Chain A
């Protein structure tokens, strides 16, 4: 049984056809690189997988069942987590509070249900340790490096124990050393048998961590190959249109 599959996903916004018949599949413990130029339809596709948009036509299958995501919380509850490009973190809160935002740990205090900070710090510390990241749960996100912020955003996805994590350009705006850190985080997720879809512009990153690569151009998937059977040159050609399909 396939973990996650998109079948013939199309999306149009009025007269604009953003996606046409997109097929995509991924198994547990696999990292899929999704590549394409600006305007190729990557963002639209991610938003459909994350529950921000409903597709105009086509089906989403998760663990052998047809599913529909009506909003991001819905998608999350069904097992799809997203790490957004801007990470969607609150700078003024601690790492642990960000990890637990929207689903805070609580404890009964008489008739009141109060936030259980020590449990949140402990749990967050465990997730950071699992990700082998030097991120301190009590630090404010404002004071953190790009790599640490990524760790916070990724640790957040671990809470719901998802089947799939979508990562939107996680390495776009950080330093070389931090890129290595983020790629390690992706490998950790894969080792825990999670399927990762990595949306990226950066060829070296995709070739470093992905098992499969899908290339999009003008709203269509023009190639879907194991990473070992392709090369950066071929993928570049597919992205730009120098090579039609592969």
Chain B
């Protein structure tokens, strides 16, 4: 008995290093560091405070949404609607402020809009048992279209009496870091703990691993599924509020194409589209890598339109990588 316990403890020590070397977020971190070293040699702008500030802020909007997306992907689902939810939540926030209401009313209205989108997605997926791909593809179209209808195709750039306070939220800084980035760091730490140390977090993984087993052991699978889609939309709503506040303007095309970058962040960070794997740190580092690549292309004078090609290739590459890894261990 004591011998076997010793054996278990021993195994854990040896396993920690091996586990790190096998984890995708670790290698993405290595890639990111290498990329930064190379860029600092090639461009004298890359390692400036200004560029650092911009890069971290830019990927914060994506990274925040990726926290929710990762939970969805771990359960084995997908949320294609996040970009459109950013669009409609941002537009609602802007319109409420434009109508002269206070800053918190605007934020609450935006978040409630996102919540509503998430509830519709979640109920249809968890309780009506429709495929997440189809439901969120529908929401992708609906939310974007409603944003266009609501805005009547106008851009909003006047935000009423609370304009200054509102702009400070997404445009301000804390300890020299952009507020959105500070929030992303806090959320990442929060979700690392939630995924590992709460029953909600473990059940997300259990559902992705074997939904039937989770159901039989008494995990409230339907409620859990509803919760991840609500979370995903809510994160999109938070990101939208910050985005509008930072840009100081709202257009109905806000968030277009975000779903691709968000999914890419999660997947590059180790989330498995078949469910059961993924993590908060991985999503953070995945979002960072995509933004550093985009920034590098810009600094290198490459046409910014190439970004989508790179991001798309990255998704395919990350999925290929996990397939090969699965073949080796299986």
Contact = CB atoms under 8 A, between A and B. Distances in A.
B217 interface: yes
Interface residues of A, number: 33
A72 interface: yes
B4 A91 contact: no
B18 interface: no
A106 B219 CA distance: 16
B213 interface: yes
- The 10 A-B pairs with the shortest beta carbon distances in the complex, nearest first, are A90-B209, A88-B213, A102-B217, A92-B276, A92-B209, A102-B218, A114-B197, A73-B218, A101-B217, A90-B210
Interface of B: 1, 4-5, 7-8, 11-12, 15, 193, 196-199, 202, 205-206, 208-210, 212-214, 216-219, 276-277, 329-330
Nearest to B196: A115
B276 A90 contact: yes
Interface of A: 72-73, 76, 82, 84, 86-93, 97, 101-104, 106, 112-115, 121, 125, 129, 134, 136-138, 142-143, 156
Given A89-B213, A102-B218, A125-B8, A114 B198 contact: yes
B8 A137 contact: yes
Nearest to B206: A90
The residue among A76, A114, A125, A134 with the most chain B CB atoms within 10 A of its own CB is A114
Contacts of A104: 199, 202
A82 B330 CA distance: 28
B216 A115 contact: no
Nearest to B219: A102
Contacts of B214: 90, 101-102
Contact of B209 (A84, A93, A106, A112): A93
A16 B54 CA distance: 69
Contacts of B12: 138
Given A104-B199, A115-B199, A90 B4 contact: no
Contacts of A103: 217-218
12 contacts: A72-B216, A84-B216, A90-B209, A92-B277, A97-B202, A101-B202, A101-B213, A102-B217, A112-B198, A115-B202, A125-B8, A142-B329
Contacts of A84: 216
Contact of A136 (B11, B209, B217): B11
A93 B206 contact: yes
A88 B212 contact: yes
**Chief secondary structure at chain B's binding surface:** helix
A93 B8 contact: no
A87 B329 CA distance: 21
A90 B218 contact: no
Contact of A93 (B5, B199, B205, B212): B205
A196 to B, nearest CB: 19
Nearest to A153: B213
A76 B205 contact: no
Nearest to A129: B1
Contacts of A88: 210, 212-213, 216-217
The residue among B5, B206, B216 with the most chain A CB atoms within 10 A of its own CB is B216
Contacts of B193: 114
Given A90-B209, A138-B11, A142-B330, 13 more contacts: A84-B216, A86-B212, A90-B210, A91-B276, A101-B202, A103-B217, A114-B193, A114-B197, A115-B202, A129-B4, A136-B11, A142-B329, A156-B217
The residue among A86, A93, A142, A143 with the most chain B CB atoms within 10 A of its own CB is A93
A6 B262 CA distance: 55
Nearest to B277: A92
A112 B219 CA distance: 20
Contact of B8 (A106, A112, A136): A136
A90 B197 CA distance: 17
B4 A125 contact: yes
A135 to B, nearest CB: 10
B279 to A, nearest CB: 12
Nearest to B199: A104
A134 to B, nearest CB: 8
Contacts of B216: 72, 82, 84, 88
B13 to A, nearest CB: 11
The residue among A73, A90, A121 with the most chain B CB atoms within 10 A of its own CB is A90
